[in-house]
Chain A
């Protein structure tokens, strides 16, 4: 049975999530994503203030060519595929700043986990930042909730 105490975010959150400085490059971000195996990186500034979220989906999306680029390069699927690779390479040195989701939806430690679940599902978010006084204190993932609510331990 689920422990009746496990009802607030602070009970189930991951306290030390993967984080990245807002002045980092995309190459750094890509490495971090690969290493930490999370879908979204928490972005912080020099003072450790929470800045936003960088998702692996957005990094990949940035590498995918848009329709105008495809047309300029020849307009076929083959050229679009090549373009993806070259764009990806070029992304490495760019700052992550433009891809950061500013002012993302966040939760606080006292929030009920059901509240977090609603937004995780409604907005198709996979990882929610937990913020306290402007500082990042943890994250709640879908997996965290599943484990705590439906899981047996």
Chain B
């Protein structure tokens, strides 16, 4: 009750009906209200919707101050007045689970009681649907999975023509903002059983629910209520479908919202062959986003039948059949991940599948946000396939936020789906596999699970895609998602969502049993050996593991340290090696991956060192060692970031020399700081390219797996914090160092196969390929070449090899054979031997010969006249007259850079025009090549050099100047500075997400997407590294300031961080604003010219400006400024008033000019109304002039604010520890200039608005005056 004698009271409406009246025996008795009748009104439930009816009262029943004349539906927050008493209607979450919807009476279907529950549910569903002649109870069949058995209906019976017509006009209604008036004018059509046959119900549902949501969401201000033309039929449809309430379900928006362009195509349910049936804006983004989900669901259809058959195989104890079905599931998941999910591209150069995240966030994302809190939205997790796979793989918990949301969604599913999912949960394939003794079965099950949950599997890829959308979406102003995360910019809501997505992926990961494959080393062959360096072929016997792989796949190996290294460690530790070490948590988990050590509680010290991470010395370990030993030399090493110049055993020796007893480490308890378990943590996986192809396809899986491994060796330099020495990498030596032991003596190797997202052969075998291999970068190309040799009609294949001597031509016989048969063109550049490679014909066909020539690098070879011309022809698109080849680069960072430079030089050479035109052509061609995903790199980091060798260092104030196209895009990640100006356009996740973080430290964001753990990306970044961030030393300077609760102390270093945080906050908002404005250059509704200003686009622009004034200015002139002022005045000017900054901003905001600017939003909104009502295009164009002025002003404001703050940051950089003493005046001046930036913004904007209105466009002003 909102007002009345019992104001504040709550009444529950759970009963059959609730009568309100003056009588004492009614449900809500208002005996004090003499304006109320004895039995005034009643509220009851009708078709899952609460409605109110007046019971013939004297003074009437009012809903939202309108007297009701008939049964009226109630919406949340509706105000109900009976007499003088006011109620507010609210919906609360039901406390108990909603019972599954009943299946209406249908002829009984006889099912054998021994049938597996999921099979029974499947038969029940498909048979019921067949007999009913419609699928209103849920699409479900073996042939079509969760998809309809026939494509969705294109239209309703003729009497509903008005609906079909308006559906077709949706984009236009959006564009002109006339959607609401169009629906207000629409007649109310009945949809009872007598009016509309059951088989039309799903189309009617899709129409009404999309209409309902569109009506609500098209304008930023929600309507008072939905018009009867939508609401009445929608309620009726809801009742007939047995839904809990009106909802835009996943079925409405996705599964029953597509039509085929060409129904006769093979495999027609593909994004490119579909259109939306009921679109809203119908822009490219909407189509790809929704239809992409249709394609994914459709492509996963084989998994539905396979899951049922797999459960049958378990019931029949038929291992072979189970393997078969699991393989089908894996294939379906992998195909869908790489062919359908990866199809949605975020890079604008990727052609027709480009999805602009900003357009998505502004035009598509908001639609599906639930209108009521308890109604689940049609988010990605509403797709039944996730639910099915979860049940099948045995997800045990749903406790994360998204997990709970999934449980909730399922309550709203149609009955067939609910029953099927319940039935699938009854048989645990996972348990069966766990108990099985078949290693192959376990392996195959592991592969299937990984294809679903792994970081590189369906869910992992899905999460990365989602992050790209969500982050941009939040930043450009969508503050609600379907999963009901909300928050302002400062709350970093996108990080929350992202973490939630990852938690739910991990939740699944934990529920599913883990397996690791183990292989025996079969052979180790030396491919080349010059004494110091060598390359070897390692042959793993993987038969019986169930592993399958394809060309381009990688192998993750868990390495072991060599006996030699372990002995050095033992010596440094003064131990014999047989000392038992009790394992801590991390170790106990990690030993499970080591065959024969599963579930170990202790390990002999020698074994622990063998499995541990010793090389290289990680920074946290070096720091920990310093904490334990307090060794002065170690401190210097850590400070100089030179720890990677050392090995753990030499650091220990160093500490021992200074008196530290190294035995302490292995004598310490596993819980203690000194414990060896912490100083030597478990080693992690290392990645290698696979150099072989599978002998046979099918369930049996691979028998052999070849790796090509070069010895990793590097020198460390002599310096005050390092010594000159020869160092070796761990893993390369582990698998190949046969000097001490033979292949037969080697224990089992723990490994996993990992499929890279893009680095694989072209889908069409006739497409030519060009492979650039730097040294052992040849490894993956052996599998490419072997695969191509088997392909009929394969296109041209080229190999460019950059290496030292002809001895480095690994697998020379194979190459010669392929080259002679004309299947491979080989080019080589030798950097140490002055020879050129030639293919010479001889009696047996041909062989490589080495003619005297010159020493050269890969770039020299590429640029030779004949090669350059061939490459130019190969790399160009087919439509430009080229061959559209796929280009692969594999090697170290420097090699990859050389190849890319070579490609750029070739483009430059073969294009015509001025130097500027050529430069542009180079960029365009390269961006498109990458955007087409025809330029694929696999770069491996070996040792990139220590921090101490980096000479170039940069300050934050310099990096902050590079956050736009003109000045380039720089970024700080993990203490290093990168120039990503070129890479931003090559990034698979698109420019916009990179742009968000330019000019600042992006380490956090980088780690959120696990890029640091992804060698593919992490190593590519190396190509763009330009230096390191200079470390500032603030010593121990500190001071006192006035904090939120009174006096507090703060170090100068913390004060600097507060400044930098303010700067980065401003930069992040500036970046985001730039991204946001790009929406105006895009086609937001179908058939809209990208640069045209429509009323809809004008509304989007208005929202940006409004948000800028209301949120951006408020937040950058709010708490961060006041913190910086409190810190700066406290440390530098104790006589200053801590309130100064807040007062100064308030003062500016109160000026006449500021108020005028603020008022402008209301004026522009009024102009837009006129534009819509009178279709006044001239006025719309004039609004465009206001937009131009505002956009420039807003962008300049952010830039000027950034520059103002940089003046302060530079003081810290210049004086470091003496900042307070020497820089106080300048620092104060810098903060004090901040309110001036705001004042200048209002002043300039005001002047421009005056000029505009007095000058060329009096009509605009006239419009304003007349209002």
Contacts and interface: CB of A to CB of B under 8 A. Distances in A.
Contacts of B1140: 75
B1137 interface: yes
Given A70-B1042, A71-B1139, A76 B1047 contact: no
Contacts of B1045: 66-67
A78 interface: yes
A78 B1047 CA distance: 11
A76 B1137 CA distance: 4
B1130 interface: yes
Interface in B1004-1044: 1040-1044
Nearest to B1043: A67
Given A76-B1129, A77-B1040, A77-B1129, A70 B1046 contact: yes
A77 B1139 contact: no
Contacts of B1040: 77
Contacts of B1044: 67
B268 interface: no
A7 interface: no
B1046 A77 contact: no
A18 interface: no
Contacts of A70: 1042, 1046-1047, 1138
B1134 interface: yes
Contacts of B1138: 70-71, 75-77
A70 B1044 CA distance: 11
B1137 A65 contact: no
Residue among B1041, B1042, B1134 with most chain A CB within 10 A: B1042
Nearest to A61: B1046
B1144 to A, nearest CB: 13
B836 to A, nearest CB: 74
Contact of B1046 (A66, A76, A78): A66
A69 to B, nearest CB: 8
B1136 interface: yes
Interface residues of B, number: 17
A75 B1046 contact: no
A75 B1137 CA distance: 5
Contacts of A80: 1042, 1046-1047
A64 interface: yes
Given A76-B1129, A80-B1047, A67 B1134 contact: no
Contacts of B1047: 64-65, 70, 77, 80, 84
A71 B1047 CA distance: 11
Contacts of A67: 1042-1046
B1046 A64 contact: yes
Contacts of B1130: 77
A65 B1046 CA distance: 7
Given A64-B1047, A75-B1139, A81 B1042 contact: no
Given A64-B1047, A65-B1047, A78 B1042 contact: no
Interface in A44-66: 64-66
B1135 interface: yes
A74 B1137 contact: yes
Nearest to B1126: A77
Given A71-B1139, A75-B1139, A76-B1129, A81 B1046 contact: no
Q: For this complex, into which size category does the number of interface residues on chain A fall?
A: 10 to 19
Q: Is the interface of B mostly helix, strand, loop or mixed?
A: mixed
A75 B1134 contact: no
Contacts of A66: 1045-1046
A66 B1047 CA distance: 8
Nearest to A67: B1046
A81 B1041 CA distance: 11
Nearest to A81: B1134
A67 B1048 CA distance: 11
B118 to A, nearest CB: 53
Interface in A8-40: none
Interface in A75-111: 75-78, 80-81, 84
Contacts of B1046: 64-67, 70, 80
Interface string B36-78: 0000000000000000000000000000000000000000000
Interface in B1120-1160: 1129-1130, 1134-1140
B557 to A, nearest CB: 45
A60 to B, nearest CB: 11
A77 B1043 CA distance: 10
Interface in B1039-1078: 1040-1047
A76 B1046 CA distance: 11
Nearest to A66: B1046
Contacts of A77: 1040-1042, 1047, 1129-1130, 1134-1136, 1138
A34 B889 CA distance: 76
Interface string B447-460: 00000000000000
Nearest to B1138: A75
Given A66-B1045, A66-B1046, A67-B1044, A78 B1139 contact: no
Contacts of A71: 1138-1139
B1129 to A, nearest CB: 7
A65 B406 CA distance: 52
Contacts of B1041: 77
Contacts of A76: 1042, 1129, 1134-1138
A70 to B, nearest CB: 6
A65 B1043 CA distance: 12
Contacts of A74: 1137
Contacts of B1129: 76-77
Contacts of A84: 1047
Contacts of B1043: 67
B242 to A, nearest CB: 57
Nearest to B1040: A77
A66 to B, nearest CB: 5
A55 B1129 CA distance: 32
A66 B1136 CA distance: 17
A67 B1126 CA distance: 12
B1231 to A, nearest CB: 15
B744 to A, nearest CB: 55
Contacts of B1136: 76-77
A74 B738 CA distance: 79
A74 B1129 CA distance: 14
B1133 to A, nearest CB: 8
A89 to B, nearest CB: 18
A76 B1140 CA distance: 10
A80 B1139 CA distance: 13
A67 B1136 CA distance: 15
A65 B1040 CA distance: 13
A148 B1047 CA distance: 38
A34 B434 CA distance: 71
A74 B1138 CA distance: 9
A66 B1046 CA distance: 5
Residue among B1129, B1130, B1136, B1138 with most chain A CB within 10 A: B1138
A57 B1130 CA distance: 23
A70 B1041 CA distance: 11
A70 B1139 CA distance: 11
Residue among B1041, B1129, B1137, B1139 with most chain A CB within 10 A: B1137
Nearest to B1131: A77
A84 B1040 CA distance: 13
Interface of A: 64-67, 70-71, 74-78, 80-81, 84
Closest 6 CB pairs of A and B: A77-B1134, A75-B1137, A78-B1134, A78-B1135, A75-B1138, A67-B1046
Given A65-B1046, A76-B1042, 15 more contacts: A66-B1045, A67-B1044, A67-B1045, A67-B1046, A70-B1046, A70-B1047, A70-B1138, A75-B1140, A76-B1129, A76-B1136, A76-B1137, A77-B1040, A77-B1042, A77-B1136, A84-B1047
12 contacts: A64-B1046, A64-B1047, A67-B1043, A67-B1044, A70-B1042, A70-B1047, A76-B1042, A76-B1138, A77-B1040, A77-B1129, A77-B1130, A78-B1134
